[in-house]
Amino acid sequence: MPQYGGFISAIALLNDGLIIRRSTESDVYYYRYSFTIGEMFEIGHYNGRFPGGETEIINNMIYFHVSKIDINYDALANVLYGIDLEINELIEFSRSFVNYPFVQSYYQNGNLVSIKTVLENNIQTSYLELYNIRTDSSTLMSEFHFDRETRLGNIKLLHTTDNDILYILYDTRLSEQDEWEAKIRAYDKNMNHYRDINLDNVADYILRQRPLRFRIWGDYFFMVNASSESLIGRIEPNGEITPLHKGNLDRMLLRNIRSQANTQLLFQRESNNIVLLDTTTGAITEVALDLKDGYEILYVQTNGNNAFVSTMRYDHELSIWTYRQYLTTFPNNIANNNENSSVIITLEQTP
């Protein structure tokens, strides 16, 4: 395989290969890699330095948002892209202009739900946008308002979906006498209030730094913050969270709605440790991967059937990072650490 400049990462694990993203100083390129022939070809690229955010695979389309400067308007644009897996093409679906980058989208009931934020007259407004993937149209829903002068109101932090339930994490402070309080509110597929999740008994740990992302799988909760502290917990009937595991775990920014696996994989970067969470029983299994030659985990992708493990090692003699990837079945072989069934995938890249 030829050498490629820039940073290379796999953004989607398919049954027959990978979708690869390569970021350079001026452009972002997307490729499809075949396990069968061991080669990859370009799908498309765009000009800009901000790679795409979290991805959703819906039917045969991979959706993600990208933040980039629109030179025609000299403004920050958030662009919804798709990679059509049938024709191997990068497609632009929509473009909007907002004040804050890194818009994320999650699937719910035929829509991609994103939260976009604008600033006008010191009022920061975050609104829900529901993009219907069938009709190629958008609908605006409820809003969060925050007065940056009085420091009062609601600030949307993060959101995610689980099946057809939308979860929104937000900070609220409605009077000067109040302290800031983080809350999670859930909405069903008709955008009716579904339930609330109480973060009080875990806030001192997981919310002492800014939260980066969270996931909910049924009655199980995962969050990681800016200090790489992570929490796995069980959501009780009264909405409180019972901590089950604290550590330094992360999860790859990919979801495939076609494979709703009961086992969720979390990994610890720069180590050989992974954690498997059974979302039906709450059982947690810790596994130390047998990574050879001093390699450590960079990230792990899963698709319900397989796991793609990307590892890295610093070569002190050459003063460069080297990378090694392999594929194994999931969850059985990775849980049993059966390296004999792994297929080594070589994706070389230059520093």
Task: Spell out the domain ranges in the chain.
Answer: 1-96
Residue 217: name the closest of 264, 152, 284, 151 by CA. Answer: 264
The whole-angstrom separation of Cα 224 and Cα 27 is 29
The predicted pLDDT at position 271 comes to: 86
The predicted pLDDT at position 239 comes to: 95
Predicted TM-score (pTM) of the model is: 0.86
Q: Which residue has the higher pLDDT, 75 or 232?
A: 232
Q: Is residue 341 very low, low, confident or very high in pLDDT (cuts 50, 70, 90)?
A: very low
Residue 31: name the closest of 23, 39, 22, 42 by CA. Answer: 42
Q: What is the CA radius of gyration of the chain?
A: 21
Residue 109 tokens read as: 């009931």
pLDDT in tens, 123-180: 998 888 899 999 989 888 878 899 999 999 998 889 999 989 999 999 999 999 888 8
pLDDT in tens, 173-216: 999 988 888 999 999 998 899 999 999 999 989 898 989 889 99
The whole-angstrom separation of Cα 209 and Cα 179 is 16
Q: Where are the alpha helices (DSSP H) in the chain?
A: 203-206, 332-336
Beta strands in 48-164 (DSSP E): 55-58, 61-70, 75-84, 89-97, 105-108, 111-120, 123-132, 137-147, 152-162
Q: Is residue 293 very low, low, confident or very high in pLDDT (cuts 50, 70, 90)?
A: confident
